[in-house]
Amino acid sequence: MAEIQIGDAAMAGFKLVGRRPLSVLAWGLVTALFIALILLLFGGGLAAAVVDLMRNRGAEPDPAQVFGLVGSIMGAVLLLIVGLTVIGAMIQGAVFRAELSPEKRGVAYLQFGSQELWLIAVNFVMGVVLWVAQLVMSIPLVIITVMLGVSGAGLGADNHNPGASMSFLAGAVGIRIIGQLVIAVVTGWLWVRLCLGTVISFRERQFRLFESWSMTKGHGLQMFLVMLLVVLMLAVLYIVAAVIMFSGVAGTAMANADLKDPAVLAALAPGAIIGRFAAVIAIGGILMVIFTGVMNAMTWGAVARMYLQLNPPDDVAKTFA
Protein backbone atom coordinates (compact mmCIF):
# COMPACT_ATOMS: atom_id res chain seq x y z
CA MET A 1 0.00 0.00 0.00
CA ALA A 2 1.35 3.45 -0.95
CA GLU A 3 2.31 5.67 1.97
CA ILE A 4 3.37 9.26 2.48
CA GLN A 5 7.09 9.55 3.22
CA ILE A 6 7.12 12.71 5.32
CA GLY A 7 10.82 13.60 5.06
CA ASP A 8 11.07 12.98 1.33
CA ALA A 9 7.93 15.01 0.56
CA ALA A 10 8.87 17.91 2.84
CA MET A 11 12.34 18.19 1.26
CA ALA A 12 11.10 17.82 -2.34
CA GLY A 13 11.18 21.58 -2.85
CA PHE A 14 14.78 21.93 -1.68
CA LYS A 15 15.78 19.05 -3.95
CA LEU A 16 14.04 20.81 -6.84
CA VAL A 17 15.96 24.00 -6.07
CA GLY A 18 19.17 21.98 -6.20
CA ARG A 19 18.26 20.38 -9.54
CA ARG A 20 16.83 23.45 -11.28
CA PRO A 21 18.11 26.59 -9.51
CA LEU A 22 17.77 28.80 -12.60
CA SER A 23 14.17 27.71 -13.15
CA VAL A 24 13.33 28.48 -9.51
CA LEU A 25 14.91 31.93 -9.82
CA ALA A 26 12.97 32.48 -13.06
CA TRP A 27 9.69 31.81 -11.25
CA GLY A 28 10.51 34.46 -8.68
CA LEU A 29 11.78 36.86 -11.34
CA VAL A 30 8.56 36.67 -13.37
CA THR A 31 6.56 37.61 -10.27
CA ALA A 32 8.93 40.42 -9.30
CA LEU A 33 8.97 41.90 -12.82
CA PHE A 34 5.18 41.97 -12.95
CA ILE A 35 4.94 43.72 -9.58
CA ALA A 36 7.65 46.16 -10.70
CA LEU A 37 5.61 46.90 -13.84
CA ILE A 38 2.53 47.70 -11.76
CA LEU A 39 4.59 49.95 -9.50
CA LEU A 40 6.06 51.65 -12.56
CA LEU A 41 2.59 52.29 -13.96
CA PHE A 42 0.88 53.38 -10.73
CA GLY A 43 3.54 53.90 -8.06
CA GLY A 44 4.72 57.38 -9.02
CA GLY A 45 1.23 58.85 -9.18
CA LEU A 46 0.16 57.16 -5.97
CA ALA A 47 3.24 58.31 -4.09
CA ALA A 48 2.83 61.91 -5.31
CA ALA A 49 -0.86 61.93 -4.36
CA VAL A 50 -0.15 60.57 -0.88
CA VAL A 51 2.61 63.12 -0.30
CA ASP A 52 0.32 65.97 -1.42
CA LEU A 53 -2.40 64.78 0.96
CA MET A 54 0.10 64.57 3.82
CA ARG A 55 1.39 68.07 3.14
CA ASN A 56 -2.16 69.47 3.06
CA ARG A 57 -3.62 67.32 5.82
CA GLY A 58 -4.91 70.40 7.66
CA ALA A 59 -6.85 71.63 4.63
CA GLU A 60 -10.00 70.33 2.99
CA PRO A 61 -8.94 67.53 0.58
CA ASP A 62 -9.65 68.00 -3.11
CA PRO A 63 -12.48 65.53 -4.01
CA ALA A 64 -11.05 65.02 -7.50
CA GLN A 65 -7.63 64.18 -6.07
CA VAL A 66 -9.12 61.74 -3.53
CA PHE A 67 -11.27 60.13 -6.22
CA GLY A 68 -8.25 59.77 -8.51
CA LEU A 69 -6.19 58.26 -5.70
CA VAL A 70 -8.88 55.71 -4.83
CA GLY A 71 -9.38 54.86 -8.50
CA SER A 72 -5.66 54.37 -9.04
CA ILE A 73 -5.41 52.12 -6.00
CA MET A 74 -8.37 50.02 -7.12
CA GLY A 75 -6.98 49.73 -10.65
CA ALA A 76 -3.55 48.69 -9.37
CA VAL A 77 -5.04 46.14 -6.98
CA LEU A 78 -7.28 44.68 -9.69
CA LEU A 79 -4.38 44.30 -12.11
CA LEU A 80 -2.26 42.76 -9.35
CA ILE A 81 -4.95 40.21 -8.48
CA VAL A 82 -5.56 39.18 -12.10
CA GLY A 83 -1.90 39.15 -13.05
CA LEU A 84 -0.67 37.30 -9.97
CA THR A 85 -3.47 34.75 -10.36
CA VAL A 86 -2.30 33.94 -13.89
CA ILE A 87 1.39 34.00 -12.96
CA GLY A 88 0.71 31.89 -9.88
CA ALA A 89 -0.99 29.23 -12.00
CA MET A 90 1.90 29.28 -14.48
CA ILE A 91 4.44 28.79 -11.69
CA GLN A 92 2.32 26.10 -10.05
CA GLY A 93 2.13 24.27 -13.36
CA ALA A 94 5.88 24.71 -13.85
CA VAL A 95 6.59 23.08 -10.48
CA PHE A 96 4.26 20.19 -11.35
CA ARG A 97 6.04 19.70 -14.70
CA ALA A 98 9.43 19.78 -13.03
CA GLU A 99 8.34 17.02 -10.63
CA LEU A 100 6.05 14.93 -12.84
CA SER A 101 7.53 15.46 -16.33
CA PRO A 102 11.09 16.78 -15.89
CA GLU A 103 11.85 16.20 -19.56
CA LYS A 104 9.37 18.95 -20.59
CA ARG A 105 11.68 21.77 -19.60
CA GLY A 106 10.91 24.50 -22.13
CA VAL A 107 11.62 27.94 -20.64
CA ALA A 108 11.85 27.19 -16.90
CA TYR A 109 8.87 24.80 -17.39
CA LEU A 110 6.62 27.87 -17.74
CA GLN A 111 3.61 27.66 -20.04
CA PHE A 112 0.12 29.06 -20.23
CA GLY A 113 -2.56 26.79 -21.66
CA SER A 114 -5.49 24.62 -20.69
CA GLN A 115 -3.64 23.06 -17.75
CA GLU A 116 -3.01 26.47 -16.19
CA LEU A 117 -6.64 27.48 -16.77
CA TRP A 118 -7.79 24.37 -14.91
CA LEU A 119 -5.40 25.23 -12.09
CA ILE A 120 -6.95 28.70 -11.83
CA ALA A 121 -10.43 27.16 -11.66
CA VAL A 122 -9.44 24.51 -9.10
CA ASN A 123 -7.58 27.00 -6.89
CA PHE A 124 -10.55 29.38 -6.97
CA VAL A 125 -13.07 26.70 -5.98
CA MET A 126 -10.77 25.38 -3.26
CA GLY A 127 -10.40 28.90 -1.92
CA VAL A 128 -14.18 29.31 -1.81
CA VAL A 129 -14.60 25.94 -0.04
CA LEU A 130 -12.02 26.87 2.59
CA TRP A 131 -13.56 30.33 3.05
CA VAL A 132 -17.02 28.84 3.60
CA ALA A 133 -15.59 26.33 6.06
CA GLN A 134 -13.89 29.10 8.01
CA LEU A 135 -17.09 31.16 8.00
CA VAL A 136 -19.13 28.25 9.35
CA MET A 137 -16.58 27.55 12.08
CA SER A 138 -16.33 31.25 12.99
CA ILE A 139 -20.07 31.77 13.60
CA PRO A 140 -20.34 29.83 16.91
CA LEU A 141 -16.98 31.26 18.02
CA VAL A 142 -18.17 34.82 17.46
CA ILE A 143 -21.46 34.14 19.27
CA ILE A 144 -19.69 32.67 22.32
CA THR A 145 -17.08 35.42 22.59
CA VAL A 146 -19.68 38.18 22.13
CA MET A 147 -21.88 36.65 24.85
CA LEU A 148 -18.94 36.42 27.25
CA GLY A 149 -17.84 39.95 26.41
CA VAL A 150 -21.32 41.39 26.93
CA SER A 151 -21.73 39.49 30.21
CA GLY A 152 -18.36 40.74 31.45
CA ALA A 153 -19.11 44.33 30.43
CA GLY A 154 -22.49 44.10 32.17
CA LEU A 155 -20.92 42.94 35.41
CA GLY A 156 -18.35 45.71 35.23
CA ALA A 157 -21.00 48.37 34.57
CA ASP A 158 -23.07 47.27 37.58
CA ASN A 159 -19.96 47.24 39.79
CA HIS A 160 -21.23 44.10 41.47
CA ASN A 161 -18.21 41.95 40.84
CA PRO A 162 -15.25 43.53 38.98
CA GLY A 163 -13.21 40.33 39.34
CA ALA A 164 -15.92 38.28 37.66
CA SER A 165 -16.15 40.91 34.92
CA MET A 166 -12.43 40.63 34.16
CA SER A 167 -12.70 36.83 34.22
CA PHE A 168 -15.47 36.92 31.61
CA LEU A 169 -13.49 39.30 29.39
CA ALA A 170 -10.30 37.26 29.77
CA GLY A 171 -12.26 34.10 29.01
CA ALA A 172 -13.67 35.71 25.86
CA VAL A 173 -10.16 36.62 24.68
CA GLY A 174 -8.82 33.16 25.53
CA ILE A 175 -11.64 31.37 23.76
CA ARG A 176 -11.20 33.62 20.75
CA ILE A 177 -7.48 32.80 20.52
CA ILE A 178 -8.01 29.07 20.99
CA GLY A 179 -10.90 29.10 18.53
CA GLN A 180 -8.81 30.85 15.87
CA LEU A 181 -6.04 28.28 16.33
CA VAL A 182 -8.55 25.46 15.94
CA ILE A 183 -9.98 27.09 12.80
CA ALA A 184 -6.46 27.46 11.38
CA VAL A 185 -5.63 23.80 12.06
CA VAL A 186 -8.91 22.53 10.61
CA THR A 187 -8.47 24.77 7.55
CA GLY A 188 -4.96 23.42 7.06
CA TRP A 189 -6.24 19.85 7.35
CA LEU A 190 -8.97 20.53 4.77
CA TRP A 191 -6.37 22.08 2.46
CA VAL A 192 -4.12 19.02 2.56
CA ARG A 193 -7.10 16.74 1.92
CA LEU A 194 -7.99 18.76 -1.20
CA CYS A 195 -4.56 19.88 -2.45
CA LEU A 196 -3.90 16.82 -4.63
CA GLY A 197 -6.92 17.88 -6.68
CA THR A 198 -4.67 20.52 -8.23
CA VAL A 199 -2.25 17.86 -9.48
CA ILE A 200 -5.03 15.57 -10.73
CA SER A 201 -6.73 18.44 -12.58
CA PHE A 202 -3.38 19.50 -14.04
CA ARG A 203 -2.66 16.02 -15.39
CA GLU A 204 -6.14 15.19 -16.65
CA ARG A 205 -7.01 18.70 -17.90
CA GLN A 206 -10.36 18.44 -16.13
CA PHE A 207 -11.86 19.68 -12.88
CA ARG A 208 -10.83 17.02 -10.36
CA LEU A 209 -10.64 18.86 -7.04
CA PHE A 210 -12.80 16.56 -4.94
CA GLU A 211 -11.16 13.36 -6.19
CA SER A 212 -8.36 14.36 -3.84
CA TRP A 213 -10.60 13.64 -0.83
CA SER A 214 -10.80 9.91 -1.54
CA MET A 215 -7.15 9.71 -2.67
CA THR A 216 -5.89 11.23 0.58
CA LYS A 217 -8.13 9.17 2.87
CA GLY A 218 -6.03 7.71 5.66
CA HIS A 219 -3.07 9.96 4.83
CA GLY A 220 -4.33 13.28 6.21
CA LEU A 221 -2.09 13.36 9.30
CA GLN A 222 1.08 12.54 7.38
CA MET A 223 0.25 15.14 4.71
CA PHE A 224 -0.49 17.73 7.40
CA LEU A 225 2.92 17.06 8.98
CA VAL A 226 4.61 17.42 5.58
CA MET A 227 3.07 20.83 4.97
CA LEU A 228 3.70 21.89 8.57
CA LEU A 229 7.41 21.18 8.05
CA VAL A 230 7.32 23.13 4.80
CA VAL A 231 5.66 26.10 6.53
CA LEU A 232 8.21 26.03 9.37
CA MET A 233 11.14 25.97 6.94
CA LEU A 234 9.63 28.84 4.95
CA ALA A 235 9.08 30.75 8.20
CA VAL A 236 12.79 30.49 8.99
CA LEU A 237 13.69 31.78 5.52
CA TYR A 238 11.16 34.62 5.89
CA ILE A 239 12.59 35.65 9.27
CA VAL A 240 16.11 35.72 7.81
CA ALA A 241 14.90 37.89 4.90
CA ALA A 242 12.96 40.18 7.27
CA VAL A 243 16.03 40.68 9.49
CA ILE A 244 18.14 41.59 6.45
CA MET A 245 15.52 44.10 5.25
CA PHE A 246 14.99 45.62 8.70
CA SER A 247 18.73 46.03 9.13
CA GLY A 248 18.99 47.71 5.73
CA VAL A 249 16.11 50.13 6.41
CA ALA A 250 17.38 50.97 9.90
CA GLY A 251 20.93 51.46 8.64
CA THR A 252 19.76 53.73 5.81
CA ALA A 253 17.59 55.79 8.16
CA MET A 254 20.47 56.25 10.61
CA ALA A 255 22.88 57.20 7.83
CA ASN A 256 20.58 59.95 6.48
CA ALA A 257 19.86 62.70 9.00
CA ASP A 258 17.01 64.17 6.93
CA LEU A 259 15.07 60.92 7.26
CA LYS A 260 14.95 61.34 11.04
CA ASP A 261 13.14 64.69 10.93
CA PRO A 262 9.41 64.28 10.04
CA ALA A 263 9.20 67.85 8.75
CA VAL A 264 12.19 67.44 6.44
CA LEU A 265 10.97 64.01 5.38
CA ALA A 266 7.55 65.40 4.42
CA ALA A 267 9.23 68.08 2.29
CA LEU A 268 11.25 65.58 0.27
CA ALA A 269 9.99 64.57 -3.16
CA PRO A 270 8.95 60.89 -3.56
CA GLY A 271 11.87 60.33 -5.92
CA ALA A 272 14.33 61.65 -3.35
CA ILE A 273 12.97 59.32 -0.66
CA ILE A 274 13.13 56.35 -3.03
CA GLY A 275 16.68 57.33 -3.96
CA ARG A 276 17.75 57.19 -0.32
CA PHE A 277 16.52 53.61 -0.11
CA ALA A 278 17.67 52.48 -3.58
CA ALA A 279 20.16 49.95 -2.20
CA VAL A 280 17.61 48.54 0.25
CA ILE A 281 14.98 48.30 -2.49
CA ALA A 282 17.44 46.43 -4.71
CA ILE A 283 18.27 43.99 -1.92
CA GLY A 284 14.57 43.56 -1.22
CA GLY A 285 13.93 42.80 -4.88
CA ILE A 286 16.62 40.11 -4.89
CA LEU A 287 15.27 38.58 -1.69
CA MET A 288 11.76 38.65 -3.14
CA VAL A 289 12.88 36.81 -6.28
CA ILE A 290 14.65 34.14 -4.26
CA PHE A 291 11.92 33.70 -1.65
CA THR A 292 9.06 33.62 -4.18
CA GLY A 293 10.78 30.97 -6.27
CA VAL A 294 11.76 28.84 -3.28
CA MET A 295 8.32 29.19 -1.68
CA ASN A 296 6.58 27.91 -4.80
CA ALA A 297 9.10 25.13 -5.25
CA MET A 298 8.73 23.96 -1.66
CA THR A 299 4.93 24.23 -1.48
CA TRP A 300 3.92 22.72 -4.81
CA GLY A 301 6.96 20.46 -4.98
CA ALA A 302 5.78 18.83 -1.75
CA VAL A 303 2.25 18.48 -3.12
CA ALA A 304 3.50 16.91 -6.37
CA ARG A 305 5.81 14.54 -4.46
CA MET A 306 2.95 13.38 -2.22
CA TYR A 307 0.88 12.73 -5.33
CA LEU A 308 3.70 10.61 -6.77
CA GLN A 309 4.09 8.73 -3.49
CA LEU A 310 0.39 7.81 -3.51
CA ASN A 311 0.48 7.18 -7.28
CA PRO A 312 3.85 5.63 -8.15
CA PRO A 313 5.05 6.26 -11.74
CA ASP A 314 4.10 2.72 -12.89
CA ASP A 315 0.54 3.19 -11.64
CA VAL A 316 0.34 6.67 -13.16
CA ALA A 317 1.58 5.37 -16.52
CA LYS A 318 -1.12 2.70 -16.52
CA THR A 319 -3.77 5.27 -15.59
CA PHE A 320 -2.87 7.67 -18.39
CA ALA A 321 -1.94 5.06 -21.02
Domains of the chain: which residue ranges? Answer: 6-308
Whether residue 316 has pLDDT greater than 60: no
Rounded mean pLDDT, 106-115: 92
42-51 contacts, C-beta under 8 A, 24 or more apart: 42/72, 42/73, 42/75, 42/76, 44/270, 45/72, 46/72, 46/73, 46/76, 47/270, 47/274, 48/270, 51/266, 51/269, 51/270
**Residue 161: per-residue pLDDT:** 57
pLDDT, mean over the chain: 83
Give the Cα separation of 83 and 273 in Å (integer).
Answer: 28
Which pLDDT band, with edges at 50, 70 and 90, does 129 fall under? very high
**Residue 176: per-residue pLDDT:** 83
Which pLDDT band, with edges at 50, 70 and 90, does 293 fall under? very high
Rounded mean pLDDT, 110-130: 95
Half-sphere exposure of 250 (CA within 13 A, CB side): 6
Query: In the chain, pLDDT over 70 holds for what percent of residues?
Result: 74
pTM: 0.81
Which pLDDT band, with edges at 50, 70 and 90, does 320 fall under? very low
Whether residue 256 has pLDDT greater than 60: yes
Whether residue 317 has pLDDT greater than 50: no
Which pLDDT band, with edges at 50, 70 and 90, does 42 fall under? confident
DSSP letter at 311?
Answer: S
Helices assigned H by DSSP within the chain: 6-10, 12-19, 21-38, 44-55, 63-100, 114-158, 162-194, 196-204, 211-215, 220-255, 262-267, 270-276, 278-310, 313-319
Whether residue 11 has pLDDT greater than 80: yes
